[in-house]
Each structure stands twice: as structure tokens, then as C-alpha cells.
Structure 1
Amino acid sequence: MTIKESDIVNQAIASRVHSFRKDNRLSLDELAKRADISKGMVVQIEKGRANPSIGLLCKLANALGVSLADIVAVSDEPKVIIRHQHDIPTLWHGDKGGTARLLAGTKGSVMIELWRWIMLPGEIFTSDAHSKNTMELIHVEEGSLAVEVNNETFTLNANDAMTAQMDVPHSYSNTSDSAVTFTMTVYEKSSQG
């Protein structure tokens, strides 16, 4: 992602977080407390000066009673939606060139997201626990993916699938010599919804 593209994404996030906060009549302090992040970080996000992680955006979405897709503007009213490649945000960049793209998601407090991940050899993504009862469905298209859930590691090879409750610390890593591509569906119900 070029700097210009990330600036556009961050400004869209800033505007939507600010709007959702105002709609919920929350002060910066109240949102920070609900999301369990610092007030300073909320301020930086609303000014478009932060490059928030996926985990941080999930905390904000949960605290605001909306979906992550609402915050990054990839959700729409229920109808047929076509999202072209140039409109799909990349929300994670691995240190070796891997990516995680939020392909689609639902609006509101019941969040369903569809992700496409590409992890290059040696890359890892670590996540804090999601909200209670969050489920992830993972399907490996190619390569080998190590998924750690609450300190237990599971290996998924091409065409393997997994369903896991992710309200515990977890991570995804590529410990192989070739790229791994996987899709993920996340189901989470906001504690505010």
C-alpha cells in the first residue's frame, strides 16, 4: 500500500469512528474506556494520524456497537453488493510482503467478515482475544498455516479447514518455505449491540 492509499484508509476510519462516537453520544474518555485503549490513541485515530491495528479496530467496533466493516466502510445495506478489487482495503501488511484484506462484511452489531490472507515465509500475526464467543472459520487454499489458539498449535495444510472460538489469544504464522494463502470468516456479536 502506498502512503497515499494508507492515508485515504486512515482518513475514512477517522471520519467513521468520530461519527459513530458522536451517534452514540460518547466522549473520547468513554469510548477509550469501553474499548480498553488510551484516550490519546482514540484522538490520534479520529485525527487520521494513527495506523491502527486490526485488533485495535475490532476493540473500537465492539465498543461502538458496530462491525469492523462499518468502520472501514466495506459494508452496505442488505442487497447485492459488488466490491471491486481497488475498493477492498488491506488492513495488515506483513514484514516480508504478506497481506490481509477485508473482502466483505456486514453492518451493525452482529459482525460477519470475509478475509483473504497471504503470509510469506516467516510472517506471523498475533491477536489479543476477541469478544466472548467470537468464531473464526479458516480454509487454507495453498501452503501450510500454523494457528495457535490459547497456547495450543494446530497445523493446516492446503484444503484443510478449521473452526475455532477466538475469545482467547491466538496467532497465525507461516513457518514453511513457501507462501500460504487462506480465507477466514469471522463471526462476532458486539457486547454493545
Structure 2
Amino acid sequence: MSDLDQLTQSLARNLKRWRGERAFTLDALAARAGVSRGMIIQIEQARTNPSVGTTVKLADALGISITTLLDYEQGAQVRLVAPDQAVRMWSTSTGSSGRLLIGTEKPGPLELWGWRLMSGDSSESDAHAEGTVELIHVSAGELTLIVDGEAYTVPAGTSASFEAQVPHGYRNDGAEPVEMTMAVSVPALHQTLRGR
């Protein structure tokens, strides 16, 4: 089974499980996530591999991290994720990619990502749930961070943080690849529900 097939199967199994645990109907989850009922059915039947944006919307609507949505098996207090077990969530033909390195649900979902953006590549993101915060550290190259339409230059060795409940994106306008680590903190479900 390919990595993509495993990802599709895991997402299907976990989406059904978490939707059941939250007692969300298909229509309720569709409304909360802004994703069509038909798309959720296709995902739960492992007939499609949704975009990263759709996966983020579903995780946000369920009040869980993408890590949990992709891999429910978490038991020990210490969890090691080998490099070959990190989930590649997106990639381009030029070599850019985003890998979900690890995540946790306590006290609210927290994810750690490793990103590589090749020269001229970019990645756009819809607004996340209110209260979501992203922390970025650029270790190589120069990142152009766009938050709510405003561009910020983040050179190597520099870190940035921002509230991610607005549209945002990452762009490499330079000649060398951008290497960065990103942590995403998502509010716990009860906090998200209280704020709506």
C-alpha cells in the first residue's frame, strides 16, 4: 500500500471515529467545516484524498489537530516519530513540501511541521479557527510571510508568531530554498464551541 493509500485509509477511519465521538451528523460537520456533505462522504469512504485546506477545516471543526485526524493511535507518554513516519501533507514538482512532524491534543491540539519551499514556490492557507496561533522559525533562506494580505520578510535565523484566524500564506521570493519549522496551536474544542 502506498503512502497516499495509507493516508487516505487513516483519514477515512479517523474522520468517521471523531465525527461519531462528537456526535456530529454529516450535515452538522459540513456546516461547521464549510466542506460539502458529499466531500465528507467521499473522505469517509476513502474514495478521495482531500486537499490540506479541506483537512485543516475538518480538523478545526472537530476541535482536533491534523495529527489526530490522520493517526488516532496515541498511547505512551513519550511518542517518537521517526523521520520516515512524518506525514508529507503537500509537495510540488519543484521540490517544495510540508511535513507534519508530530502533534498532541493536550491541552489543545498542537502540531509541529517541517517545511521546505523552493525558489518561486508558495503555499496559501484559509483562516483557521479563532484562537489558532502559528510560530515559525526560518533556518535557511528568506521567507515572505503573508498575513491578512500584508507581507513580512522573515530571514534565516528569525522567528515569527501570528494569530492564524485570517487568510495567510508562505512564499519564497529568493534564489535559495527556505527551510522552516512551524508550530500550530489550535484551541481546544470546548474553547472553540464557547467562542461561537
Normalising by structure 2, report the TM-score: 0.91
Range with bigger deviation, 85-94 or 179-188:
85-94
Give the aligned length. Answer: 191
Letter in 2 for 1:179: P
Deviation at 1:74, TM superposition (A): 7.1
Range with bigger deviation, 173-182 or 49-58:
49-58
Deviations 1:21-75 (A, max 9, x none): 1222222112111111101110111122222222211211122222211101177
Range with bigger deviation, 44-53 or 139-148:
44-53
Q: Is the 8 A contact 1:144 1:155 kept in 2?
A: yes
In structure 2, runs of 5+ residues without a counterpart are none
Q: 1:175 to 1:74 in 2, by over 3 A?
A: farther
The residue that corresponds to 2:168 in the other structure is 170
Q: 2:173 & 2:161 partners in 1: Cα distance? A: 21
Q: Which of 120, 123, 143 is the matching residue for 1:122?
A: 120
Deviations 1:83-130 (A, max 9, x none): 112211001112422111111101267111100000111111001111
Letter in 2 for 1:93: S
Q: Which of 96, 102, 105 is the matching residue for 1:104?
A: 102
Q: Is the 8 A contact 1:106 1:113 kept in 2?
A: yes
Percent identity of the aligned residues? Answer: 35
The residue that corresponds to 1:47 in the other structure is 45
Letter in 1 for 2:78: V
Q: Which of 89, 92, 99 is the matching residue for 1:91?
A: 89
Q: Is the 8 A contact 2:146 2:152 kept in 1?
A: yes
Q: 2:179 & 2:79 partners in 1: Cα distance? A: 24
Letter in 2 for 1:4: S
Matched, 1:25 2:18: no
Matched, 1:57 2:52: no
Q: Is the 8 A contact 2:60 2:128 kept in 1?
A: no
Q: 1:142 & 1:69 partners in 2: Cα distance? A: 25
The residue that corresponds to 1:139 in the other structure is 137
What aligned pairs does 1:67-86 form with structure 2 within 5 A after superposition?
Answer: 67-73=65-71, 76-77=74-75, 79-86=77-84
Q: 1:108 to 1:22 in 2, by over 3 A?
A: farther
Q: Is the 8 A contact 1:124 1:174 kept in 2?
A: yes
Q: Is the 8 A contact 2:30 2:40 kept in 1?
A: yes
Q: 1:172 to 1:152 in 2, by over 3 A?
A: same
Normalising by structure 1, report the TM-score: 0.92
In structure 1, runs of 5+ residues without a counterpart are none
Alignment RMSD: 1.8
Letter in 2 for 1:42: I
Letter in 1 for 2:83: Q
Letter in 2 for 1:34: R
Letter in 2 for 1:84: A
Q: Is the 8 A contact 2:120 2:171 kept in 1?
A: yes
Q: 2:73 & 2:122 partners in 1: Cα distance? A: 27
